[in-house]
Structure formats: structure tokens, C-alpha cells
Amino acid sequence: MSNSLQDEITKRRTFGIISHPDAGKTTLTEKLLLYGGGIREAGAVKSSKIDRTTTSDFMEIERQRGISVATSVMTFEYGGKIINILDTPGHKDFAEDTYRTLTAVDSVILVIDSVKGVEEQTEKLMQVCRMRAIPVIVFVNKMDREGKPPLDLMDELEEKLDIRVRPLSWPIGMGNRFKGVFNLVQQNLFLFRPGKSTIEDERILISGLEDLQLQSQIGEDSALRLTEDVQLIEGAYGEFNVEEYERAEVAPVFFGSALNNFGVRELLETFVTIAPSPLPRQTDTRLVDAEEEKFSGFIFKIHANLDPRHRDRIAFLRVCSGTFERNKMVYHVRLGKNIRYTNPYSFMAARKEVVDLAYPGDVVGLFDKGDLKIGDTLTDGDPMMYQGIPSFSPEVFKELTNLDPLKAKQLDKGIRQLTEEGLAQLFVKDLGRRKIVGTVGTLQFEVIQYRLQHEYGASCRFEALHFSRACWITSSDKTALDHFIRFREGNIAYDKDEEPVYFAENEWQLNYLIRETPSITFHMTNEYKLKKKEVSSKG
Ligand code: G4P
């Protein structure tokens, strides 16, 4: 392996910020970008007035709704490291988008609102992190507000997120009485000056909790309280072990206020020091190291072009090994053909620019005319495929009806392309005559309707169906499967790979069937397909 490839890999940190909506993900992202010199102005990540390539929102509809529907990538440099933030939509209806993005990161920063504690969406996202053993750093935000007592918050984190935590900083008071944080590792005091937003933290070096400066800075009472808290923490949590963090067994915790740019630099400094650089990744045949000379990567996100007049799409490629080079042929494993990309681009700071060379951990935007799907692998010729971009069982189902018979073709094409982007899942019934769209939230239907109209000129109507779960069904007994499908025709449809799917009306009905028909296996994600492929490639 060349030294320069190794150096580039060591420099990279590719991560996602996850949170429940309103916890402060956007604010924190902005502040992180400020440190990297990515943007000059607070508010730039959200504002529609700024050049649209700096924002997390790609589509007009997103700006209208003020929800970050799409995942985008923001790259900046800090402390000699190249940091790629993969943005994740906060809205729960787009959770599946976030799950997919988590397959392309090496670590995660989880933002918690100190007032609200652990919220529902956070629990779900952490489940995915745990499943994939993604290392997590927690940032407890909004310490300038009267929040839950920090020790209670630690317990709540451990209980609800099912992970051990280890505070690396500790707050001194909160709300109006918030004085700052004490860095438990470096034994520094960071003083909070209310109202001085976007001014850097004032850092005071003290020799330890006995240092008289501590009292003079934060007052006798606060110093006493801090000393007690720190003794308690050191006793209860033990040493922080970086390897345990890397194995996703323990999550270090920081406190601060993103809005006041407080505690953000401290978080960032620890992040660049301990967060992993690009990790090895599993394919259907072997584990691939980032350091391998040969290029490989996978597509984790597809996005419609910003300009609706152009049908091409942007596919987001995560480079996993070797280097991705502009104009060089790459092998598209699923299609078994070579493709050349002449205008790949990166997302450096505020600009979107053509990139000649990308390294493991980098995300490259590829213009695509319809060759790429989510989960596709590109390599230097090796026929392996990256694993782990599952489709989850949708929860809301509507039947799609065409309102303009002259535009049937456009509707057909549109819905196929939109579902390939991962916006929703498409199922067909009655030999393709009926189309059922399944999603995890209801907002997608509005997005689909809007985009079919604006990008494809097709108008449609959605009619609610009374299903609440879709499970892929398999069986080792083909006759039993055929019988099941015939007997329950009304509840059966087929997915994009023509695999049968059972639609359940409710949880009870599904559980009943699972119990009563042991010959059929019900799958909540389509990950079983990967396993099937694994078995056939082995045997
Ligand atoms: P999200 O991306 O996770 O959804 O959250 P976002 O950053 O948009 O923050 C949600 C709200 O919380 C915003 O207020 C933001 O200003 C506020 N906020 C973020 N960090 C802090 C903090 O450290 N302290 C306090 N007190 N508030 C914080 P908003 O009124 O909803 O929006 P805006 O008009 O301020 O943008």
C-alpha cells in the first residue's frame, strides 16, 4: 500500500449527526462547519438565501416545508483531518433515509436536548447504531436552558439507549446558572459567557479540583458541587477506554450549547482524536480493508437532479477502499459492465466541485442516467457486493391511481425512479395492474405526488389501504409457500424483485399468522435476500 493512501485514510473522519427533531442537529452542524471555515454565517445551513449547494436541502419542496428531506454531505478540514458530515433528515417520516446513511458512516454524534432527554426518534436511531456497532459520541445540548439533572440524564441515556456512557466533561449548573463545563480528561475549565454567541469558549487551565482558581472563577458553592459530582462520576464510571468506544461499547458524553457555540470546539477536538478513520467493510465474499489498493465503494443515496428539466440523478458513492478516479472505468457489479464518470463531484466546504481523486471515507456525487440503484457496488473489477442497505418494512400503504390516461407511461417511469431513490417502496398486484406504495411516514405521499406532477407531468391520486405492515415471505417448502400465496391472495403483492410480500392489517393478525403458519418465514427487512445470495455464492 502506498504511504499517501494510508495517510489520506488516517486523515478521514466520516460521520453522521443524529437526533430527535429540534434537539439542535442543524445548529451543531453549522457550528462545526464554522470551525472548518466551511461557512461564514450562522444560519447558512438552513437559509435558502445562501447558495443552495451549501445547504442540506436539495429540493424546492424541502425548503418549502423547512424539513431537511434529503441527505447531503458537508466536507471540511480541521486539525489536519478531513471531515465528512453526512446529514440525516430529522423528520421521522424519512427515518429510512437516515438508516441508509448510517451504513455509510464510520461513527456518529448523537445530539440530546437537555430539557427533553432521550426522545423516541433517538431510541430508534440508536438501535440501528447498535445493530451495526457504530461508535457514538453524545452531545447534551441546550445547557443554557433549565434541563434535567445531568446525573439523571446519564441514567436515562444508559437505560433508553442500552449503551454504557462515560462523561468526558461535566456541566457547572444549567439554565440561568450555567457557568460552563469542566473537562474531566484535561482538567480544564470552560467558562460560559451568556450572550457571547459564536465567540470561542474561554478556556482556563487549572491544576485540578483543588486549584483555588476554580473557586474564584465559579464561586464557592459551584466549586463544591462540582468537586462532589466529579468524585461521584470518577467512582461510578471508571476510566474512559478508547477501544471500548471504538467497539461501540461505551459512548463518551459532552455538554454544551450549540446555539451559543459553547462546548462545540471541545467536542470537535475529541472527535478528531478518537473517532475512527474509515473502517473495513463487509461484502458478500469478504471483508474489505480501506487500505486495499483496489477501488471499491457503494451507493447509499440517490437524489433527483435539482433541475427538473434534467432527468439525470445524483448518486452518492461512499468510497470504501483504494481511490476513485475521475474518467477511469469502474465495474458496476450488478449490471456486470464498466462505466466511466467524467464529472464526479465532492462537497468541499461551501462549494460543490469536480473531484479528480477521492479516498476511502469520501463521498462522491455521480451523475447517473439510470444505471445506479441504492446498494449498488462499484469496484476495480472484483465482482463482490457490499452488504447492509436493507429496506425496512413500511407502515403506511396507499394505492396509486393515475388521473391522466395519456400520461400513464410518465407515471410509471416516475414512480419507479422515485422509489429507486428510496423515497418509498413500490409493490405491484394483479400482474402489475395495481400499484401500492409503502412508506414509513405519510409525508412521502405528498412529496411523491408533488414530484410526479412537477418532474414527470403526471397527476395521481392516493387511496389509503388498511394495511399496517408488510413482510417479505419465504419458505423452504415451495408447495406451502404457493398454497399460502393462493389462499391469501388479497394480502399478497410483489416487490421490485418480484418477491412475494404479505400485507398485514394489524400487528395482531400478523402475530397470529406467524404462530399458525410455521412453514412460512416472515421477514421485517429484506436483508434475508443478501443472506440468500451469500448461501448461493458459497454453495
Ligand atoms: P434540529 O436540526 O435538530 O431539528 O434542531 P435545530 O438546530 O433546528 O434547533 C432547534 C431549535 O433549538 C432552534 O430554535 C434552535 O435555535 C434551538 N437551539 C439549538 N441549540 C440550542 C441551544 O444550545 N440552546 C437553546 N436555548 N436553543 C438551541 P427555533 O426557535 O426552533 O429555530 P430558530 O428560529 O432559532 O432557527
Between the CA of 67 and the centroid of ligand 1 the distance, in Å, is 13
- Choose the residue to mutate in 259, 260, 261, 264 for probing ligand 1, maximizing ligand atoms within 8 Å of C-beta: 259
DSSP codes of every residue in 381-395: S----B---PPBPPS
Contact between 90 and 19 (Cβ < 8 Å)? yes
Cell numbers representing residue 285 in the block: 465474499
Between the CA of 180 and the centroid of ligand 1 the distance, in Å, is 19
- Choose the residue to mutate in 18, 20, 22, 33 for probing ligand 1, maximizing ligand atoms within 8 Å of C-beta: 22
Cell numbers representing residue 151 in the block: 446525573
Between the CA of 434 and the centroid of ligand 1 the distance, in Å, is 43
- What is the model's pLDDT at position 187? 83
Between the CA of 15 and the centroid of ligand 1 the distance, in Å, is 21
Q: Which atom of ligand 1 is nearest to the CA of 145?
A: 26
Half-sphere exposure for 389 (CA within 13 Å, toward CB): 25
- Choose the residue to mutate in 26, 27, 30, 69 for probing ligand 1, maximizing ligand atoms within 8 Å of C-beta: 27
Global pTM? 0.81
| Closest CA to ligand 1's atom 36 | 43
Between the CA of 422 and the centroid of ligand 1 the distance, in Å, is 28
- What is the model's pLDDT at position 477? 95
Spatial distance between the Cα atoms of 175 and 169, rounded to a whole number of angstroms: 17
Contact between 118 and 127 (Cβ < 8 Å)? no
- What is the model's pLDDT at position 309? 61
95: left (phi over 0), alpha (psi -120 to 50) or beta: alpha
| Closest CA to ligand 1's atom 16 | 259
| Closest CA to ligand 1's atom 15 | 24
CA 71 vs CA 32, 87, 199, 301, 317: distances in Å: 17, 5, 29, 8, 12
Domains, the chain, ranges and CATH?
3-274 (3.40.50.300), 281-379 (3.40.50.300), 396-538 (3.30.70.3280)
- Any idea of the CA torsion for 89, 91, 97, 101, to the nearest 10 degrees? 40
Of 144, 158, 139, the closest CA to residue 269 belongs to 139
| Closest CA to ligand 1's atom 4 | 22
Contact between 189 and 155 (Cβ < 8 Å)? no
- What is the model's pLDDT at position 106? 96
| Closest CA to ligand 1's atom 29 | 22
- What is the model's pLDDT at position 96? 75
Q: Which atom of ligand 1 is nearest to the CA of 23?
A: 3
Q: Which atom of ligand 1 is nearest to the CA of 141?
A: 23
Between the CA of 354 and the centroid of ligand 1 the distance, in Å, is 33
Spatial distance between the Cα atoms of 333 and 330, rounded to a whole number of angstroms: 9
Between the CA of 22 and the centroid of ligand 1 the distance, in Å, is 6
Between the CA of 423 and the centroid of ligand 1 the distance, in Å, is 27
Rg (CA), the chain: 25
Between the CA of 118 and the centroid of ligand 1 the distance, in Å, is 16
Q: Which amino acid is at 473?
A: I
Contact between 392 and 125 (Cβ < 8 Å)? no
Between the CA of 192 and the centroid of ligand 1 the distance, in Å, is 18
Q: Which atom of ligand 1 is nearest to the CA of 262?
A: 23
Per DSSP bridges, beta strands 492-494 and 460-464 are unpaired
3-state SS string over 33-52?
HHHCCCCCCCCCCCCCCCCH
Pocket of ligand 1 (CB under 6 A): 19, 21-27, 90, 141-142, 144-145, 257-260
208: left (phi over 0), alpha (psi -120 to 50) or beta: left
| Closest CA to ligand 1's atom 34 | 43
| Closest CA to ligand 1's atom 24 | 142
Spatial distance between the Cα atoms of 412 and 280, rounded to a whole number of angstroms: 39
Between the CA of 27 and the centroid of ligand 1 the distance, in Å, is 6
Between the CA of 26 and the centroid of ligand 1 the distance, in Å, is 8
Query: Three-state SS for 22?
Result: coil
Mean pLDDT split into 10-residue runs, the chain, 539 residues: 84 94 89 71 39 40 39 80 84 73 94 94 85 93 95 95 94 90 86 62 74 85 92 90 95 94 90 95 92 96 66 85 96 94 73 83 88 91 83 85 91 88 87 87 83 89 92 94 94 91 92 94 76 51
| Closest CA to ligand 1's atom 17 | 24
CA 46 vs CA 27, 42, 52, 57, 196: distances in Å: 9, 9, 10, 8, 22
CA 484 vs CA 202, 474, 477, 513, 524: distances in Å: 68, 10, 11, 11, 18
